[in-house]
Structure 1
Amino acid sequence: MTASTLTRTAACCLGVFCLLQVPANAAELELKSLNSLTDATNQKRKIGPFVSIAVGETLGHTGTTRVGDRNFSLDDADGSAMFSIEVGKSWKAKRIPLQFSLAAEATFTSTTLQGSVPTGSLNPDDLAAYQADMNSLIFSLNGTFALDLYRYRARIGKILGGFKPYVGGGLGGGQVWFRNATGKSADQLTGGTTEPNEQPPFSIDEFINAWNWRAGLEWSWEERYSVFAEYRKSYFGDLDNLRGYGNDGYLVGFRYRY
């Protein structure tokens, strides 16, 4: 075999090898593109639209009840139920690890109001204590800022990377209902039987303004699913017979991003 023949054979082999490499490189580029698209889709799902449900309990409340010409205290009662459903969307900052969320929320709260005044200066039939059930349905627009630890999952691990501490607040309004209002006279508080000369004059229902602030922690174990726990402080606008009312409590819930 001559040198020229060897040269032609080597050239042919090199050409075939190059032709075989083109599809392989194209397939590799296509696979990388698909992986990048999948990662982008997962990231979008993680911060996109969401719906959440939560349940919780009030820890206490503050305010003043006005009955006749007397201001009654608002004593703490046992924890009462809170329920929430929220629909919103999240956005992420490009250069800093922050997320901003905007959501519409409906919150139902059921609680008990009760209080009393000193009986020393009262007549036996004067109203000295009251109790009433109060339910509220509040609609609010909420905004939150969250620290996105997911960006640092390569350093801190997948579990810690799933946490997002957040703070926020909301503004809205809704309806309040009073039920089962009862009162006791000064005589009844000391063991007597004299009925009070008036009953707590609570309105049956009333529209109010409301606002809140919150702080919590969310944890995601997948792109779409997360759980969260938050502390919340809520304030209500003044009602006819209830001034400066506010309550605080906690909520735990589940969030789905779609």
Structure 2
Amino acid sequence: MRPLALFLVSLCALTASAAELELKSLGGGEGIAQKRKYGPYVGVSVGESISQDGNVKIGDRKFGLDDSDGAAIFSIEVGKSWKMKKVPLMMSVDVEGTFMSTQLSGKSKDATQPTGGSRLATDTVAYNADMNSLFFNLNGTFALDLYRYRARIGKFAAGFRPYIGAGLGGGQVWYRNATAKSRAQYNGTGTDAASSTPFSVDEFINSWNWYAGLEWTWKDQYSVFFEYRDFHYGDLEELTNFASDGYLVGFRYRY
């Protein structure tokens, strides 16, 4: 009986040891998943503007800015996330490069008025220009971490992560294909071609933005997101109080 008892004791010890190793292995796997879910990440996104607003100055004349949608937005981000222990929140900090391309156009309120008095046929009354910009911003984001409640709401619902954030930075702005029309040209009574280069700005300015979005993750490290963003430029010599809002859709990878 003693050899049999010794064998059973040894077998139980081996089984307990194997179970302990398995639990440690599972715990390590969860740790890796946590690191992926809350660690460094990269992301790419594309979108377009919904509206824009601002003031334009050409020479000594001031113009409004036509609201224009459909401007292209491209973005690349690199950052890192941290989870908070006592509250279901996740904080992220990233550096983002954003390229935007839009069109500036507008006319004066008296563009169609006949010449005479203070209204001259040579007065500039309309303008058009393609504007490109490249900005680099430092962004901070707070997200609601539903992953903590996956046992109650399920893995699919726990993958959603609503967030808000804001950022500061700066970048370069430049214009292409800029033209201006005189009163005679705008009304079809002038034969000269529209004058070129009413804008000559090519400079570095500051920027700031705020945003809100919804991200959905799967397999720990992969996620897609939809984001609304409001972007503001610092003042230029010919363009002041410029702001543009739009949306972005993108992909993030955490590693």
State the TM-score, normalized to the length of structure 2: 0.93
**Aligned residues of 2:48 and 2:246 also touching (Cα < 8 A):** yes
Deviations 1:149-197 (A, max 9, x none): 1111111111111000000011000100111111111122222225489
Alpha-carbon contact 2:180-2:194 (below 8 Å) kept: no
Paired with 1:118 and 1:12, the residues of 2 have a C-alpha distance of 105
Moved more, 13-22 or 92-101: 13-22
| Structure 2 CA distance for aligned equivalents of residues 13 and 100 of structure 1 | 58
Residue 60 of structure 1, CA deviation? 1.2
Deviations 1:12-42 (A, max 9, x none): 5333311211111001101000000101111
Write the distance in 2 (CA, Å) between the matches of 1:220 and 1:150. 10
Q: 1:147/1:54 Cα in 2 relative to 1: closer, same or farther (>3 Å)?
A: same
Alignment coverage as a number of residue pairs: 249
2:174 maps to 177
* Distance in 2 between residues matched to 1:197 and 1:191, nearest whole Å: 11
Match of 1:112 among 99, 103, 118: 103
**Residue 151, structure 1, aligned to residue 148, structure 2:** yes
1:203: how far off? 2.0
- CA distance in 2: counterparts of 1:215 and 1:13, whole angstroms: 68
Instruction: Give the alignment partner of residue 89 of structure 2, picking from 94, 98, 105.
Output: 98
Is the partner of 1:125 in helix, strand or coil?
A: coil
The equivalent position to 1:166 in structure 2, one of 163, 167, 181, is 163
Paired residues for 1:48-59 under 5 Å: 48-59=39-50
Select 2:212's aligned residue among 210, 215, 220.
215
Equivalent pair of 1:106/1:137 in contact (CA under 8 Å): yes
What residue identity is the alignment partner of 1:14? A
Rate the CA distance shift 1:216–1:92 in 2: closer, same or farther, 3 A: same
> Are 1:83 and 2:74 matched, yes or no?
yes
Partners of 1:155 and 1:184 in 2: CA distance: 64
* Cross-structure match for 2:132: 135
Deviation per CA, 1:117-146, whole angstroms, max 9, x where unpaired? 022353112110000000000011011000
Q: State how far apart, in whole Å, the 1-side matches of 2:192 and 2:182 are.
A: 6
Task: Give the aligned CA root-mean-square deviation in angstroms.
Answer: 1.6
Secondary structure of the 1:40 match is: helix
Aligned-residue sequence identity (percent) comes to: 54
Structure 2 CA distance for partners of 1:107 and 1:51, relative to 1, 3 Å: same
| Cα gap change, 1:197 to 1:22, in 2 (>3 Å) | closer
TM-score w.r.t. length of structure 1 = 0.92
Structure 1 unaligned segments of length 5 or more: list them: 1-8
Say if 2:97 and 2:137, in contact at 8 Å, map to a contact too.
yes
Corresponding residue for 1:39? 30
C-alpha spacing 1:199/1:127, structure 2 compared with 1 (3 Å): farther
Unaligned ranges ≥5, structure 2: none
1:195-214 equivalences under 5 Å are 195=192, 201-214=198-211
Q: 1:203·1:240 contact (CA, 8 Å) conserved in 2? A: no
- Answer yes or no: is the 8 Å Cα contact 1:50–1:255 preserved in 2: yes
Alignment match, 1:236: 233
The 1:197–1:135 alpha-carbon spacing in structure 2 relative to 1, beyond 3 Å, is closer
Match of 2:59 in 1: 68
